[in-house]
Structure 1
């Protein structure tokens, strides 16, 4: 329930599932913020590794722990939204962290821009080879073509943004039917409600779990991304009219083709075959694209044998 007055300015929502080794660092990065007008809502999503007990042991009067049966991270975040009292909302997953000035900087950005619905900032991978990835600050998205650009992709993670609570309410929260790309789906629905503000500083840190964290879910991510795009266009026909059907087709089906190629060149043949088939069902692509896609109609073993034969021919 949103507080009418006297509540915290910011509600931080952290879904947690079997994150006992990382949840402490995540919570402490909130406790150590230079901005103090916040509440932290940790929603334990049926953990069986003692995560909830680890949260209980943290000494923080502004932390609320909510426990639920396992329902997935989107359901956990939506549960947190129902309990949130702040006028601003931030999301921080149980294995990610913030710079100590994240909240101070992001709140100031929205306070200075009263019409803005969302502020976003730069981020950096941790846990990769060498310890840290390259810092990245997303580009400026606010322009007359913002909806078109965001349809092409949104390059800030879920914990690198601060949003007005009423804007998330209008958007309807997280889509619990999506298996991936849930943050992109929400940002697309929120960021097109009004102006958004770029904060050109790296203030969010994403913990990278391993080399196959993204690649093993290529198909799931690609199809969820496409579903989010399609639902947005269906709900906003004025956007499709503004940018034109050809461009919509390029942004949606063309993106599936691009992801199909990425899977193909990474030898993730199962994902590539499924994505290429989806693209062919829409009759999309140039003749040279179809040269790569048509073999996906063959039985899996035959397709793989053709690729192996081609590779042996190139190596000779």
Structure 2
């Protein structure tokens, strides 16, 4: 039985999947299996994956389309103690698995081990931005607050114990049409299970590829996706007799504020109005539960969000 299973959904990534597989083969940890789950590719990507002669690389065919469905199919077929998700156009530094598994051994209570990642834009491959996982310096509360609104890390910047990926904690396949299904997936996990942080930052995230699902420049799409994540995550809390914390309300307020600003820049007044209304709703929710509201939040309420956002460069937020 391998120590770790790498689960890779594949949909029309023929130009990248070979590099992704080679990055796994180059790992300093050799005890792994890689499950490439073909998800209806039409560009020959599955053929590229099947051409790999490494017996640790297996190509499966998902009966359902969508990245979440493909990941779930891979999880159900996986044999490893740990699961590493890795999209078909991303790659890992050679010591990525070793670093993550070392931290896992040091923290036997951890069900999730998360580290940093590096974003590489297809249009500017030499411009690499290093990112840190949410909560690394703020502790469990900070992680759970941030994860209410945003995915706390890139999908391949963390490993998860396979034992906790029961039916209740699989990928939400009904969100496969959207690009933030990971916001719901990771929120449920970090709310239920302990996380350890790793110094690893060898997860490389290729952005703005021709078939990328993340529409960073589409405020209306971002608004819909924040709405979905908020609905699902809030419902998950409600079912457990909980309500969003002040930190979670603040995180979602900031998320909608970012959409408001993007919509203003894009000259999309309808989306701007809707995003502002939601941001103000979550600002109100913050004050309803915050025992001691901090001064940036007080300033937001006093000035109003549009004015605060216009002049926020003059104060920390």
Structures share fold, TM-score greater than 0.5: yes
Alpha-carbon offset, residue 265 of structure 1: 1.9
Does residue 166 in structure 1 map to residue 163 in structure 2? yes
* Residue equivalent to 2:42: 48
CA 277–44 in structure 1, closer or farther in 2 if over 3 Å, else same: same
- Select the residue among 142, 154, 159 that pairs with 1:157: 154
Alpha-carbon offset, residue 177 of structure 1: 1.7
Distance (whole Å) between structure 2 residues aligned to residue 160 and residue 104 of structure 1 = 13
Q: Which runs of 5+ in 1 are unaligned?
A: 1-6, 292-316
* Residue equivalent to 2:252: 252
* Residue equivalent to 1:226: 227
Alpha-carbon offset, residue 253 of structure 1: 5.0
CA 220–171 in structure 1, closer or farther in 2 if over 3 Å, else same: farther
Distance (whole Å) between structure 1 residues aligned to residue 207 and residue 118 of structure 2 = 10
Distance (whole Å) between structure 2 residues aligned to residue 210 and residue 103 of structure 1 = 25
Distance (whole Å) between structure 2 residues aligned to residue 133 and residue 259 of structure 1 = 24
SS class of match (1:207) = strand
Alpha-carbon offset, residue 196 of structure 1: 1.0
Alpha-carbon offset, residue 81 of structure 1: 1.2
The RMSD of aligned alpha carbons is 3.1
Q: Is the 8 A contact 2:39 2:67 kept in 1?
A: yes
Alpha-carbon offset, residue 257 of structure 1: 3.5
CA 123–13 in structure 1, closer or farther in 2 if over 3 Å, else same: same
* Structure with max Cα Rg: 1
1:258-294 deviation line (CA, Å, top 9, x unaligned): 3122222243556435534656888969685579xxx
- Select the residue among 116, 119, 137 that pairs with 2:132: 137
* Residue equivalent to 1:191: 190
1:143-195 deviation line (CA, Å, top 9, x unaligned): 34542243243441001110111222264211112212112221111112232
Distance (whole Å) between structure 2 residues aligned to residue 148 and residue 283 of structure 1 = 14
CA 98–224 in structure 1, closer or farther in 2 if over 3 Å, else same: same
Within a 5 Å distance, the mapping from 1:63-142 to structure 2 comes to 63-68=57-62, 71-126=65-120, 127-129=122-124, 131-138=126-133, 139-142=136-139
SS class of match (1:258) = helix
CA 270–68 in structure 1, closer or farther in 2 if over 3 Å, else same: farther
Q: Normalising by the residue count of structure 2, what TM-score does the alignment of the two structures yield?
A: 0.78
Query: Which segment drifts farther, 16-25 or 172-181?
Result: 172-181
Q: Is the 8 A contact 1:121 1:202 kept in 2?
A: yes
CA 172–283 in structure 1, closer or farther in 2 if over 3 Å, else same: closer
Distance (whole Å) between structure 2 residues aligned to residue 214 and residue 242 of structure 1 = 27
Q: Is the 8 A contact 1:34 1:100 kept in 2?
A: yes
Within a 5 Å distance, the mapping from 1:206-245 to structure 2 comes to 206-209=205-208, 214-237=215-238, 240-241=242-243, 243=245
CA 60–273 in structure 1, closer or farther in 2 if over 3 Å, else same: farther
* Residue equivalent to 2:172: 175
Distance (whole Å) between structure 1 residues aligned to residue 270 and residue 73 of structure 2 = 35
Q: Is the 8 A contact 1:185 1:225 kept in 2?
A: no
Distance (whole Å) between structure 1 residues aligned to residue 269 and residue 126 of structure 2 = 31
Q: Is the 8 A contact 1:180 1:225 kept in 2?
A: no
Q: Which runs of 5+ in 2 are unaligned?
A: 285-299, 308-317
* Residue equivalent to 1:263: 263
Give the aligned length. 284
Q: Normalising by the residue count of structure 1, what TM-score does the alignment of the two structures yield?
A: 0.78
Distance (whole Å) between structure 2 residues aligned to residue 152 and residue 289 of structure 1 = 18
CA 260–177 in structure 1, closer or farther in 2 if over 3 Å, else same: farther
Q: Is the 8 A contact 1:122 1:202 kept in 2?
A: yes
